[in-house]
Amino acid sequence: MSWKDDFGFTDRLRVIQSLTTAYQKTSSTPTSAFADAMVKAKQIETQAYNQATTRDVYDLICQQAIDEAEAAGSAEPVPGSLEHAEDDFNEPENSIGEVIGQYASCHRHYSGLHSIIYRSKLPDGTIGALKVTIPHMMAAPHDVHREVRLLREASHAHIIPLIETFNLVGGRFVLVFPFVRYDFDRLLRQEMVTAAQTRSILRDMFRALAHLHGLGILHRDIKPSNILMESPNGPAYLADFGISWKEGDAGSEPPEQKITDVGSTCYRAPEILFGFKGYGEALDLWAAGCVVAEAISVGHHQLFDSGPVGSDLSLIFSIFKTMGTPDEQRWPEVRVLPDWGKVEFHSYPPRTWEDILPGASSNGRDLVSQLVRYESSERLSAAEALNHPYFAAT
């Protein structure tokens, strides 16, 4: 019985999709990128299918093609991919905007739960982003004054620079930053980055984290939308320090009594889902691993799913179903987790990262596997991540 007897059209189509995604990211002509990538993907897959004597050989040929495509990814911006992007940033004609402190003609850009972001011209003629806090929403772990202190201390080439701050009537506090056009989440959703650009952006994220962790600062909210850049070519800046932490800072919790309600939905590390308050920089590294997984996966799907309302139980279920339900042997840290054992979970078997991230490059998958680990002490540090082979081609 040949291995091909159990390998149907749907299986082959899935491989072609992975190859198409890999080759599409190497193209510098977006108008024909998909069609050209599809043609090349079909050729590679057909050749692999015809030549392979086993499924393992077939998988190896296709994986090598994906890895070679990543290594060959163009570092140039994709011409035309930003064709309509300027429309998002052009103000309507005769639009006056609001006055905020010394800044006139401020236009609302984004409304969040804890702040509102406005765009306005700075005195030097550049565009700035004014982050106006909403005082009654500033409950722990959110602390805008701690955010300012840690931002100033953490000044770095890959951390968003703080220009100035000032108070408004009613207790509102304003932080002024350069306005940076894109966030990584948007670039991923719109397929606006090549493989090389993705590596460069992720490398900048780890550079920022290595700097922060060297200062003893935890970011506590690593996610694609908090990684900003002016263009797909970078450089990338880590932003939003609203819930950041440092031992000894006047507004930070004691080291062993940190707030566990930190992070965003599916990027939250498992130790805080089980009530561990003594967490450290590994919290950021789990989230960073989730960002890497999302960036390198076919279709850029989030690695885990916290459900429609961001439920902790939904996220735990998703993590266990994806990585396998851990026990004390696999995750010794559970012995110090306050909420471990309070709920009994279905026992899911471990899955390979090849199964979890099909179609991703080998180096990319390996980097994720060394960051997204149950045992927090086993996760790569940010400095170690920068030395991983995934970044060798950047």
209: left (phi over 0), alpha (psi -120 to 50) or beta: alpha
Check 143, 183, 221, 284 and give the catalytic one.
Answer: 221
The candidate with the shortest Cα–Cα distance to 24, out of 16, 12, 36, 42, is 36
Q: How far is CA 336 from CA 279, 362, 374, in A?
A: 11, 34, 13
Q: Helix axis angle, 9-24 relative to 30-51, nearest 10°?
A: 140
Q: Which two tokens stand for residue 126?
A: 């550049």
221 is known as an active-site residue: yes
Q: Which two tokens stand for residue 218?
A: 């935890």
Question: Within 10 A of 161 (CB to CB), how many other CB atoms are there?
Answer: 13
3-class state of residue 238 by DSSP: strand
How open is the CA angle 390-80-158, to the nearest 5 degrees? Answer: 40
Cα(391)–Cα(367) distance, rounded to whole angstroms?
Answer: 10
Question: Residue 53: which residues within 8 A CB-CB, separation 6 or more?
Answer: none
To the nearest 5 percent, what fractions of the chain are helix, strand and coil?
A: 45, 10, 45
Residue-by-residue DSSP string for 296-335: HSTT---SS--TTTT-HHHHHHHHHHHH----TTT-GGGG
Find out whether 294 and 302 touch, Cβ atoms under 8 Å.
Answer: yes
Q: Helix axis angle, 55-71 relative to 9-24, nearest 10°?
A: 20
The candidate with the shortest Cα–Cα distance to 13, out of 47, 48, 50, 42, is 42
Q: Which residues are catalytic?
A: 221
